[in-house]
Amino acid sequence: MLEPEDLGERAGAGDPDGAGDEIGDDEDTSLNVPLAPPGRAPQDTDPHAADLEAVAEIARAHAQILGEIEKRIVGQRKVIEHLLTALFARGHCLFVGVPGLAKTLLISTLAETLNLSFSRIQFTPDLMPSDITGTEVLEEDQATGRRTFRFIRGPVFANLVLADEINRTPPKTQAALLQSMQEYRVTAGGTTHELALPFLVFATQNPIEQEGTYPLPEAQLDRFMFQVDVDYPTDAEEEEIVRQQTSDWRPELGRVLSPQRILRLQELVRRVPAADHVVKYAVALARATRPQGDKAPAFIKEYVAWGAGPRASQYLVLAGKARAILDGRFAVSQDDIAALARPTLQHRLILNYRAEAEGVRPGDLIDRLLGVVVP
């Protein structure tokens, strides 16, 4: 587990162009709130005045980010809110939706607004792991004739990585992201390379195509904090999209945050208190998805083969903290947990054959679960 000071030291590390820190203010003091001592868990006590000031700052930044994104993205407010929640909770996100719903545009717009270095990986059947992580090349010194290996960094070395159509590449290549998503580092040629922080993977997936696609392994799905379903726009939204996209209007985006500020805000999120009853509610929701347990309702036992693991309840609480902060509150509530249950849990359920035959979807089961598991 990375300590807070590790995050600070590695902001912008591993970025060959310095993109990780080139936009950072000379010394970002507006959110220079104290961190917990190394190796010691933060205590759930009354927030410091500096923390309360930072909460107000993140609420203002939240409104500014929404304003900038909405210059280019029409509608999709819930998707954007989930995206920002994952960002400040330091979680990766999987976006599932049919083509043409601005998933890629949304992610690239966020990177531009937040001054983050951005990299897009187009996943194809012939993509190799080294195309993601990087590769070593043999170079010869023209003066001495000495040959050495030099590591050329792949597109994973960016603050925000877009894995476009991630299910179009075989599992071997998909797995190249596993270490970076969990440990914020990459091992290649026997050498471990640290990634620039903040580091986030946002992936897109088309739910309707089966030909030439490869289902994501459960281990990789579990590393995504959210699976966000992107739906069709409304009539009015689609009309506005047509007007914008068939004109020459291309709005300029303002810059809202820097990588250093984002790191400080991510640490602030982890200091948000979570009361015992909130933690118990998150754990109860996760445990209720496991058909082998005695807490699972009948419809879970009927349709689910395997439920969510312990990482799910951790993500529920962490995402709830981020949602509270974005709302200007320094305490997470059970309503925050319930609001984020579907995107946090749905991709962690493995349905059985009966569920597939009857067209039951994981998200629908989570919605039913919220009516059964009482806060």
- 109, 87 in Cβ contact below 8 A? no
Report the mean per-residue pLDDT for the chain: 84
- Name the percent of the chain lying above pLDDT 90: 45
Indicate the burial class of 279 (C-beta count within 10 angstroms; 0-12, 13-18, 19 or more): middle
Using CA atoms, how far apart are residues 363 and 354, in angstroms rounded to an integer?
Answer: 16
Determine the average pLDDT of the residues in 298-323. 94
Q: Which region among 51-65, 320-334, 337-351 has the lowest average model confidence (pLDDT)?
A: 51-65
List every span in the chain annotated with CATH 1.10.8.80.
Answer: 272-375
Half-sphere exposure of 18 (CA within 13 A, CB side): 3
Using CA atoms, how far apart are residues 40 and 335, in angstroms rounded to an integer?
Answer: 29
CA dihedral over 208, 100, 203, 365, signed as positive or negative: negative
Give the end-to-end CA distance of the chain in Å, rounded to a whole number: 30
- 122, 165 in Cβ contact below 8 A? yes
The residue type found at 94 is: L
List every span in the chain annotated with CATH 3.40.50.300.
Answer: 47-269
Q: What would the two tokens of residue 177 be?
A: 């992201």
**87 band by pLDDT with thresholds 50, 70 and 90:** very high
- 93, 223 in Cβ contact below 8 A? no
We find that the CATH architecture of domain 272-375 is Orthogonal Bundle (1.10)
Q: Which region among 35-49, 238-252, 335-349 has the lowest average model confidence (pLDDT)?
A: 35-49
Determine the average pLDDT of the residues in 59-79. 89
Determine the average pLDDT of the residues in 362-366. 94
pTM listed for this prediction: 0.81
Indicate the burial class of 41 (C-beta count within 10 angstroms; 0-12, 13-18, 19 or more): exposed
- 36, 4 in Cβ contact below 8 A? yes
**9 band by pLDDT with thresholds 50, 70 and 90:** very low
Q: Strand runs (DSSP E) across 165-244, as ranges?
A: 185-188, 191-194, 200-205, 224-229
Using CA atoms, how far apart are residues 245 and 304, in angstroms rounded to an integer?
Answer: 42
Residue 253 has a pLDDT of: 86
The enclosing H or E element of 341 equals: helix 341-345
Determine the average pLDDT of the residues in 111-127. 91
Indicate the burial class of 246 (C-beta count within 10 angstroms; 0-12, 13-18, 19 or more): exposed
- Name the percent of the chain lying above pLDDT 70: 85
Encode pLDDT of 175-233 as tens digits: 888 889 989 999 887 888 899 899 999 999 888 766 678 888 888 899 999 999 999 99
Residue 161 has a pLDDT of: 94
Strand order of the sheet with strand 118-122?
118-122, 160-164, 200-205, 92-96, 224-229
Q: Does domain 47-269 have CATH number 3.40.50.300?
A: yes
Determine the average pLDDT of the residues in 41-58. 66
- 331, 352 in Cβ contact below 8 A? no
Q: Strand runs (DSSP E) across the chain, as ranges?
A: 92-96, 118-122, 134-140, 147-153, 160-164, 185-188, 191-194, 200-205, 224-229, 304-306, 350-351
Residue 302 has a pLDDT of: 93
Residue 291 has a pLDDT of: 94
Encode pLDDT of 195-205 as tens digits: 989 999 999 98
Would the pLDDT of 16 be above 50? no
Residue 195: closest CA among 106, 271, 92: 92
Q: Which region among 9-23, 84-98, 247-261 has the lowest average model confidence (pLDDT)?
A: 9-23
Residue 113: closest CA among 62, 163, 42, 181: 62
